[in-house]
Structure 1
């Protein structure tokens, strides 16, 4: 009934900067009436693109937002210029939280904000093997990707082997329960 396609791509530019581009397209497989605006099967309900231009330190230097199709033409795209507020932010220093704050509720476009919130990890992947981590951030800073997923927990074996400087060891488990799970006086996990 509905298809949402999201694409994120990273491009190294000839001037040494990077473009991180996001594209979101929603389509329906049946005629879809949006308050009198009939969309045929395969027609885009949303066709929205965002491009961030960043430097090797993940600083946002420019942003461009494009609304090729919206649910409410003439209204949705008027918020596009407001996204200039992300210029000057750093993708690895509170970017997602700032986007959520700046463009919460009616202050932004849900779809543009969703694309922007995916861009730090897209940029990270684009840089992998292309830009040394030490050239991206302060060497004293815990690498951005650590402690953001199970495999890269600071207590994981992967971090112990690949990033020994940041390894924090296993968290102790009390009793015979799971970490953080209360146990009964007899040492069994509580059911409730």
Structure 2
């Protein structure tokens, strides 16, 4: 297995089971976003949104699902500034002949930084009749992935260089700086909350819950 093994991800459904009494599936919307490292100072975000109707709902006796929307977006981003340098938009499936005419509008993303305030900028540039509602919604889903790449880029650099993952270094200066960039992004990182107070007081970061669980599964608790 390598860091480019795209087949290794868990592909089981992440949805809850159908509700009791459900009579039919009416619609299935799927978002998928993946980020790639190109170099130490460059990442690519690839995203797609797909809307499907179940077999037989629109066309009687049709054995296959019917795809009504399928839009793809690829965004090259400078790192760590997260400034967008290139954009590719493609409509795989769409309801109107004119739908793909809007793809060039998304070149207006070039020069923007995927950081705080990005969603407001996207809404101003592409909201309503200024864009495609599905591509714009996809952008909202893709932006947080760019933020998730900060630690992943550091981890990838460590793996590719044969070094230890800095996530496990409680005294890492990189870890100390990283949390400051996500203050007020969610309830955990409320500037007046206990987590930020602990960081300000110099408390050790500890190992995230998802890593602790995985280490336990692998029988490697000693690495904590």
Task: Decide: shared fold, TM above 0.5.
Answer: yes
Q: List alignment gaps of at least 5 residues for structure 1.
A: 166-192
Q: Deviations over 1:24-54 (max 9, x none)?
A: 11111144559xxxx8741311111111100
Aligned equivalent of 1:3, options 24, 28, 46: 28
Within a 5 Å distance, the mapping from 1:47-66 to structure 2 comes to 47-56=70-79, 57-66=81-90
Q: Which residue of 2 aligns with 1:114?
A: 137
In the alignment, structure 1 residue 150 sits paired with structure 2 residue 187: yes
The root-mean-square deviation of aligned C-alpha atoms, in Å, is: 2.8
Structure showing the higher strand proportion among its residues: 1
Aligned equivalent of 1:105, options 123, 128, 131: 128
Deviation at 1:164, TM superposition (A): 4.9
Aligned equivalent of 1:44, options 60, 67, 70: 67
Q: Which residue of 2 aligns with 1:84?
A: 107
Moved more, 118-127 or 80-89: 118-127
Q: Deviations over 1:73-121 (max 9, x none)?
A: x211110000000100011142211110111211100011111122221
Q: List alignment gaps of at least 5 residues for structure 2.
A: 1-25, 156-172, 203-224
Structure showing the higher helix proportion among its residues: 2
Q: Scaled by the length of structure 2, what TM-score is found?
A: 0.61
CA distance in 1, matches of 2:111, 2:194: 36
Structure possessing the higher relative contact order (Cα contacts under 8 Å, 6 or more residues apart): 1
CA distance in 2, matches of 1:93, 1:156: 20
Q: Which residue of 1 aligns with 2:153?
A: 130
CA distance in 2, matches of 1:10, 1:102: 24
Deviation at 1:163, TM superposition (A): 4.8
Given that 1:11 and 1:20 are in contact with CA atoms closer than 8 Å, whether structure 2 keeps it comes out as yes
Q: Deviations over 1:125-171 (max 9, x none)?
A: 12224249x99xxx8xx944221211111111111223559xxxxxx
Q: Which residue of 1 aligns with 2:42?
A: 17
Q: Which residue of 2 aligns with 1:169?
A: none
Given that 2:75 and 2:88 are in contact with CA atoms closer than 8 Å, whether structure 1 keeps it comes out as yes
